[in-house]
Structure formats: C-alpha cells, structure tokens
Structure 1
Amino acid sequence: MYLLGLSVLLLALKYLEIGPVANWSWWWVLSPFALTALWWAWADATGYTKRKAVEKMEQRKQDRINKHKEALGMRPRKPH
C-alpha cells in the first residue's frame, strides 16, 4: 500500500506541476504503478496475501480465547 500511495503522490505532483517532479519524464512518474502491480501479482501468486489474512484471523481468535479465559479467572497459555 505504501508503494501505491507513493505512486498517487508522484502522479499528483506531476499533474499539478509541483516541485522537481514536474520536470520528470512520465515514465519515472508511472513506474511505481507498474511496481505496485508486480508486487500484487507476486503476493497473490505465492500465497503471501492469504497467509497474512490467516495469521491475522488466528491472532484475533487467540486474543478472544485469552480474553475469555481471563474473564473466567484462568491464566492464558503463553504463545509458543
């Protein structure tokens, strides 16, 4: 997402002709969009996106279990 934010910022600076970006070639300004697309393609192809989503869900599940155990007066397990 940071790369996409940089891409949009550079595009806005070029379009509004602000600062040194106004003198840059359009290829330099638009190249971060291509890098963003490559990153997303790689992340989806390797399962990185899915793996991160599963890790987030597992962490939320464990936090919920620990919260309920604390409410019952039990000590939660330490993570491995």
Structure 2
Amino acid sequence: MYTLLLGLLLILLKYLEVGPVAGWSWWWVLAPLAVTAAWWAWADASGYSKRKAMEKMERRRQERIDKHKRAMGVAPRRPR
C-alpha cells in the first residue's frame, strides 16, 4: 500500500513539475506502481491475502465470543 501511495505522489509531483522529480524519467516515477502490481500478484498467488483475511475473521469471531462471555459473567479463556 505504501508503494501505491508513493507512486501516486510521484506522479502528482512529476505532473505539477515540483522539485527534482520534474527532471526524472517517467520510468522512475512509475516504478513504485510496478512494484505494487508485482506485490499484489504475489500476494494473491501465494494465498497471503486469503490467509490474512481468514486470520482477521477468526480474531473478530473470538473477540465476539469473549464479549458475550463477559456479558454473561463468565471469564473468557486465555489462549494456550
């Protein structure tokens, strides 16, 4: 995500001809976008994105269960 923001910032600076970025080649300005595309392709192909989404869902589910247990007056279990 940081490389996407960097790429957008560099495009804006190049377009507005601000600072030293105005003299850079477009290849250097667009390079962070290529890195972003490669990262997303790898993350999807390797299952990284899906694994992180499943971990987030599991964490939210456990927090919901713990919240309901506290509301009933039962102390939630601590992870082993």
Q: TM-score range by the shorter chain?
A: over 0.9
Q: Name the aligned partner's letter for residue 19 of structure 1.
A: G
CA–CA separation in structure 2 for the residues paired with 1:4 and 1:77: 41
Query: What corresponds to 2:46 in structure 1?
Result: 46
State the Cα deviation string for residues 5-41 of structure 1 (Å, max 9, x = none): 1110000000110111111111100011110000000
Query: What corresponds to 1:61 in structure 2?
Result: 61
How many Å apart are 1:79 and its aligned residue?
A: 2.0
Q: Which runs of 5+ in 1 are unaligned?
A: none
How many Å apart are 1:77 and its aligned residue?
A: 1.0
Find out whether 1:78 has 2:78 as its counterpart: yes
Query: What corresponds to 1:33 in structure 2?
Result: 33
CA–CA separation in structure 1 for the residues paired with 2:40 and 2:3: 11
Runs of at least 4 residues off by over 6 Å: none
CA–CA separation in structure 2 for the residues paired with 1:19 and 1:59: 45
State, as a whole percentage, how many aligned pairs show the same letter: 69
CA–CA separation in structure 2 for the residues paired with 1:21 and 1:52: 35
User: Please, what TM-score do these two structures have when normalized by structure 1?
Assistant: 0.97
Query: What corresponds to 1:2 in structure 2?
Result: 2
Q: RMSD in angstroms over aligned alpha carbons? A: 0.7
Aligned residues: 80
Q: Which runs of 5+ in 2 are unaligned?
A: none
